[in-house]
Amino acid sequence: MEKAQLNYIDDSVIAWLETLDDIIPSLIKEMVTSTKQNRFDLVTNVDKSIQQKFEQFLAQHFPEHQLFAEEKSNVDINARQGHVWIMDPIDGTTNLVKQQEDYCIILGYFVDGEPVLSYIYDYPHRKLYKAIKGYGAYVNGEPILEPEPIDLQEAIISFNSLVINDETIHDLQDGSFGYRCIGSCGLDSIRVIKGQFGAHINTNPKPWDIAAQFLFSSELGLKMTTLDNTALDFAKAGPFIISNPACHEAVLAILNSGKGYKK
């Protein structure tokens, strides 16, 4: 895709993301929470409205672009063909409901299966992270540098402790410097992207949880793989790690040496 066209799409999407600053406060004021599969699986009017508004934005400005997103069925979409946006309208819904902090909007733009633009908008802290294929990664317009190597013994690592067996959790804690988990796949990944965490693991993400991370990883020299250290399929997702290159193999060695993990 030509740079001018990419810039035009980038400017348009950034302008759309900026409109959220005016919209989200009133959505939160009237927040209505419902459950999906179980009492911990939450969705709110904030998630649904943001997704709807982005769908309207695409229909108006880029009618040939398709939306593959969490709060819709996606049955008739081939994510590998044409212009496709993958969206998690709110990643960290539990944090939104319980804390009104540590949630984000995830957007990944794929052209014929290749990631070309990615955004993670940390709305509560007004930090917009973006990556452009071939042009690096930025936060609020300032370049993000490739993280320094972090060996596992110096690294903070992040995962959901409900899905890793106790023995493996202890081995990961013994092998690393420490454990933290923000509770938003996008924002836990951002910590790796900024060189703060060594790695983040999610054993069961969907395409929208990890759509943006591909491009940040390739632009910044990070590792993003399955937990078997193979290539990840963006259209299917599944068990994943995003990692500083210096501790990627060491984390996977521990993760795969014990009783493993649950999905």
Residue 91 labeled ligand binder: yes
Over the window 18 to 57, marking each residue x when it contacts ligand NAP by CB under 6 A and - when it does not, the resulting string is: ----------------------x-----------------
Cβ distance 240 to 225 under 8 Å? Answer: yes
For Ca ion, which is the closer residue by CB, 152 or 182?
182
Contacts with 36 (C-beta within 8 Å, 6 or more apart), sequence order: 42, 43
| Residue type, position 54, single letter | F
Pairing of strands 199-202, 240-243: antiparallel
**Residue 90 annotated as binding site:** yes
* 228 is an annotated ligand-binding site residue: no
Angle at CA of residue 16, ends 11 and 19, nearest 5°: 130
Q: Report whether 179 contacts 172 (CB < 8 A).
A: yes
Q: Residues 33 to 92: which contact Ca ion by CB under 5 A?
A: 70, 88, 90-91
Q: Is 118 in the site for ligand NAP (CB under 6 A)?
A: no
The count of other CB atoms within 10 Å of the CB of residue 151 is: 13
Q: In the complex, what is the shortest distance from the CB of residue 122 to Ca ion, in angstroms, rounded to a whole number?
A: 14
Min. distance of Cβ 203 from ligand NAP in angstroms? 4
The verdict on 139 binding ligand NAP (CB under 6 A) reads no
Cβ at position 235, least distance to ligand NAP in Å: 17
Q: Which does 203 bind (CB under 5 to 8 A by kind): ligand NAP, Ca ion, none?
A: ligand NAP
For 35, counting Cβ atoms within 10 Å of its Cβ (0-12 exposed, 13-18 middle, 19+ buried), the class is exposed
Nearer to Ca ion, 115 or 147 (CB): 115
- Check residue 108 for interaction with ligand NAP (CB under 6 A): no
Fill in the amino acid letter for 155. A
Confirm or reject binding of residue 204 to ligand NAP (CB under 6 A): yes
Report the nearest approach of Ca ion to the CB of residue 209 (Å): 4
Kindly state whether residue 205 participates in binding ligand NAP, applying the rule CB under 6 A: yes
Q: What are 126's two structure tokens? A: 């007004």
Edge-to-edge strand order for the sheet containing 142-144?
Answer: 66-69, 83-91, 104-111, 114-122, 127-132, 136-139, 142-144
Answer yes or no whether residue 209 interacts with Ca ion by CB under 5 A. Answer: yes
Which chain residues interact with ligand NAP by CB under 6 A?
40, 88, 91-94, 160, 162-163, 183-185, 202-205, 209, 263
